[in-house]
Amino acid sequence: MRILHTADWHLGRIFNKQYLTEDQHHILKQLERYLEQTPPDVLIIAGDVYDRSIPPEEAISLLDSFLSKVVLKLNIPTILVGGNHDGQERINFGSRLMENAGLYVVGQATVKPVQICIDDEYGPVYFYPVPYATPIACRDLFPGEEIKTHHDGMAKLLDTIRVIHPEKKRSVLINHSFVAGGEETDSERLLGVGGATVVSPNLFEGFDYVALGHLHRPQQVGGEQIRYSGSLLKYSFSEAEHTKGMTLVDLDAEGFSTHSQISFSPLREVRRVEGYFTELLEAGQILPSDDYLQVTLLDKGAILDPLPRLREFYPNILEVRRKIFAEPGRLDTPVKASDFKLRSVEDLFADFFSQVTDAELSQDQVAAFARVINEGQSNEENN
């Protein structure tokens, strides 16, 4: 059986005030073409199909168009679970009606597990979709049980699956959670505080494949068969070096066989760029770029309106930073208010200049600052 594992679509995402609708449409069209040319037996969307609980109209339209094509025209069974970004009650609406068409939507966790059976040449494979569930939600499902963490809640939910799963039959778990050992990025919304949010990969023992969502970097956690497919697009500059895509999984008669990562070609890349202001302008005149950029300027002197001038050649700059302000430890030493009163204006300025430029004032600069101070004091006396 060939399973295409995706997750964390985040339709409706805004990245640094930039709407990503066009970029997401571009990626979904690539996914459609892949499904047409190389149809899998099952498509999985492991949570966070939307970026927020009440998605914008264009996000709903994107998903509706995609699922209509894949489920109704290509006849590919599709399983979607709710993530922590999704409005789980909303995406659950009409789920029982959709099953007859081959679309299985499980927005909320339930006491009675959802079991989906799909056959291949070797027999049945049982899919168990388990959406994101908070400890509070799990306590409501299992009253009287001591459930304090996500791990506790997940353990109870998986116990209900093991009770109904046929012995020695292949199984696939679909889940949206933060599994211990996974590597985070800046674009994931925290699930809670501290270790209470973490689920141990040991809980997934016995499943032939575990299709995870929530973490945006493609990766395995625990065994090779426990995997995050990663997000469809880069949603933060911390993901600039990631390769985004989806995971293709093969099950043989015994269970998990192989996997491969299939990459996407985004409409615009997400990149971090460093350089001096004039050099970036000159490079942009030769080779302009529509990519989403975080630009870090290495200049130490003043620059007049860098962003609009750079956007003439890099229209999708989302952030401009100065290296001297961005370095860890810069300007972070606490100073008591009383300390300022004991120091001269000249000393305070020299200290400020040193911190922001990592250089000492020259004699000419000291003299120039003294002239400015003297002129200011002279003007105050005349007034």
pLDDT band at 303 (very low <50, low <70, confident <90, very high): confident
For residue range 178-217, what is the model confidence (pLDDT) as tens digits? 999 888 887 766 655 555 688 999 999 999 999 999 999 9
Please report the pLDDT score of residue 323 as a whole number: 80
Q: Is the pLDDT of residue 147 over 60?
A: yes
Question: Where does residue 337 rank: exposed (0-12), middle (13-18), buried (19+ CB within 10 A)?
Answer: exposed
Is the pLDDT reported for residue 29 higher than 90? yes
Give the pLDDT confidence score for residue 89 in this predicted structure.
82
Residue 189's pLDDT is: 63
> At CA 336, angle to CA 334 and CA 339, rounded to 5?
120
What is the distance between the alpha carbons of residues 272 and 26, in angstroms, rounded to a whole number? 22
Give just the sign of the alpha carbon dihedral 20, 26, 30, 31: positive
- Residue-level pLDDT at 164: 96
Note the pLDDT tens digit of each residue in 31-73.
Answer: 999 999 999 999 999 999 999 999 999 999 999 999 999 999 9
Q: Is pLDDT at 235 greater than 90 in this prediction?
A: yes
- Token pair recorded at residue 356: 């922001």
Can you list the domains of the chain with their CATH numbers?
A: 2-263 (3.60.21.10), 270-326 (no CATH), 337-382 (no CATH)
pLDDT of residue 355: 56
Instruction: Note the pLDDT of residue 331.
Output: 45
Q: How far apart are CA 374 and CA 67, in angstroms?
A: 72
Q: Return the pLDDT at 335.
A: 46
Structure-token pair, residue 331: 């300007």
- At 173 the pLDDT is 98
Please enumerate, as own/partner, the contacts of 152-158 that have beta carbons within 8 Å and a separation of 24 or more. Answer: 154/130, 154/199, 154/203, 155/203, 157/109, 157/113, 157/130, 157/133, 158/130, 158/203, 158/204
Q: What is the mean pLDDT of the chain?
A: 88
What is the reported pLDDT for 341? 57
Q: Please tell me the pTM assigned to this model.
A: 0.84
User: For position 216, what pLDDT does the model report?
Assistant: 94
Q: Is the pLDDT of residue 133 over 80?
A: yes
Is the pLDDT confidence value at 345 over 90?
no
Span 165-185, average pLDDT: 93
- Provide the Cα torsion 188, 193, 195, 198; round to 10°: -40
